[in-house]
Structure 1
Amino acid sequence: MSEVPPPGRGHGLLRRMAPRGREEEHRASTPLELFFDLCFVVAVAQAGRQLVHALADGHPGQGIPGYLMVFFAIWWAWMNFSWFASAYDTDDVVYRLVTLLQIAGVLILAAGVPRAFDASDFSLVWFGYLVMRLALVSQWLRAARAARGAERRTALRYAAGVSLCQVGWLGLLLLPAGVRPWVFVVMAVAEMAVPVLAERGAPTAWHPEHIAERFGLFTIIVLGETVAAATTAVQSAADAQEEVGELLPIAAGGLLLIFAAFWIYFAVPIHLHLASNRQAFVWGYGHYLVFSSAAAIGAGIEVAVEQSVGKAHVSTFAASAAVTVPGALFMFSVWLVHSRHHKRGTAQQLVLPTAAVAVLACTFAGGAAVLAAGLVGAATVAAGVTLIARQERREQRPESVRDTPGV
Structure 2
Amino acid sequence: MTRHAAIRPMAPRDPHEPHRAATPLELLFDLVTVIAIAAAAAALHHAIAADHAVEGIIGYAVAFFAIWWAWMNYAWFASAYDNDDAVTRLLTMTIMGGALLLAAGIERFAAKLDLSLVLGGYVVMRLGMIAMWLRAARNDPPRRAGALRYAGGIALAQLYWAALYFGLPPQPPVLLPLIMLGWAIELAVPAVAERAAETPWHRHHIVERYGLLTIIVLGEVLLAATLALEKAWDGSFDMRLVHTALSALVITFAMWWLYFAREPQLSSNRLSRSLQWGYGHVLVFASGAAVGAGFAVLVEILTGHSKIGLRAGDLAVAIPLGLYFLSLWLVRDRFELSGAARWVLPLSAAAIVALPFAIPALEAIAVLAVAAVAARAALAARSVSGAAADA
TM-score, scaled to structure 1? 0.91
Contact kept in structure 1, 2:102 and 2:118, CA below 8 Å: yes
Aligned to 2:222: 227
Aligned to 2:380: 388
Q: Does 1:177 align with 2:171?
A: yes
Question: 1:182 & 1:9 partners in 2: Cα distance?
Answer: 50
Q: CA deviation at 1:298?
A: 0.4
Q: CA deviation at 1:270?
A: 2.9
Say which of 134, 149, 155 aligns to 1:157. Answer: 149
Amino acid across the alignment from 1:230: A
Question: 1:272 & 1:187 partners in 2: Cα distance?
Answer: 28
Q: CA deviation at 1:240?
A: 3.8
Amino acid across the alignment from 2:80: A
Question: 2:3 & 2:287 partners in 1: Cα distance?
Answer: 37
Say which of 314, 318, 335 aligns to 1:341. Answer: 335
Question: 2:55 & 2:343 partners in 1: Cα distance?
Answer: 34
Q: CA deviation at 1:249?
A: 2.2
Aligned to 2:353: 360
User: What do residues 282-312 of structure 1 show as CA deviations (whole Å, max 9, x unaligned)?
Assistant: 1111111110000000000111122123221
Mean alpha-carbon deviation: is it higher for 387-396 or for 369-378? 387-396
Contact kept in structure 2, 1:234 and 1:305, CA below 8 Å: no
Q: Does 1:84 align with 2:73?
A: no
Question: 1:9 & 1:309 partners in 2: Cα distance?
Answer: 61
Say which of 299, 305, 308 aligns to 2:293. Answer: 299
Helix, strand or coil at the partner of 1:331: helix
Contact kept in structure 1, 2:232 and 2:242, CA below 8 Å: no
Call closer, same or farther: CA 1:314–1:130 in 2, change over 3 Å: same
Question: 1:110 & 1:274 partners in 2: Cα distance?
Answer: 34
Aligned to 1:370: 362
Q: CA deviation at 1:394?
A: 4.6
Rg comparison, structure with higher value: 1
Question: 1:268 & 1:338 partners in 2: Cα distance?
Answer: 11
Q: Does 1:238 align with 2:232?
A: yes
Question: 1:351 & 1:232 partners in 2: Cα distance?
Answer: 31
Superposed, 1:122-133 pairs within 5 Å as 122-133=115-126
Aligned to 1:3: none
Q: Does 1:109 align with 2:96?
A: no
Helix, strand or coil at the partner of 1:243: coil
Mean alpha-carbon deviation: is it higher for 283-292 or for 336-345? 336-345
Amino acid across the alignment from 2:281: H
Contact kept in structure 2, 1:265 and 1:339, CA below 8 Å: no
Question: 1:363 & 1:172 partners in 2: Cα distance?
Answer: 41
Question: 1:317 & 1:271 partners in 2: Cα distance?
Answer: 34
Say which of 299, 302, 311 aligns to 1:308. Answer: 302
Call closer, same or farther: CA 1:371–1:109 in 2, change over 3 Å: same
Q: CA deviation at 1:241?
A: 4.9
Moved over 6 A (4+): none
Q: CA deviation at 1:100?
A: 1.2
Aligned to 1:45: 38
Aligned to 1:146: 139
Call closer, same or farther: CA 1:123–1:9 in 2, change over 3 Å: farther
Amino acid across the alignment from 1:202: A
Call closer, same or farther: CA 1:234–1:127 in 2, change over 3 Å: same
Call closer, same or farther: CA 1:40–1:9 in 2, change over 3 Å: farther
Say which of 52, 57, 60 aligns to 1:59. Answer: 52
Q: CA deviation at 1:385?
A: 2.2
Q: CA deviation at 1:91?
A: 1.0
Contact kept in structure 2, 1:223 and 1:258, CA below 8 Å: yes
User: What do residues 105-164 of structure 1 show as CA deviations (whole Å, max 9, x unaligned)?
Assistant: 111111111111111111111111222122111111111111225x11111111111111
Q: CA deviation at 1:365?
A: 4.8
Mean alpha-carbon deviation: is it higher for 190-199 or for 250-259? 250-259
Percent identical among aligned pairs is 45
Call closer, same or farther: CA 1:72–1:9 in 2, change over 3 Å: farther
Aligned to 1:249: 243
Call closer, same or farther: CA 1:9–1:92 in 2, change over 3 Å: farther
Helix, strand or coil at the partner of 1:13: coil
Amino acid across the alignment from 1:15: R
Question: 2:90 & 2:3 partners in 1: Cα distance?
Answer: 14
Contact kept in structure 2, 1:89 and 1:95, CA below 8 Å: yes
Q: CA deviation at 1:218?
A: 0.4
Q: CA deviation at 1:339?
A: 2.5
Mark the runs of 5 or more structure 2 residues left unpaired by the alignment.
Answer: none
Call closer, same or farther: CA 1:113–1:105 in 2, change over 3 Å: same
Question: 1:156 & 1:393 partners in 2: Cα distance?
Answer: 48
Number of equivalent positions:
388
TM-score, scaled to structure 2? 0.94
Contact kept in structure 2, 1:9 and 1:91, CA below 8 Å: no
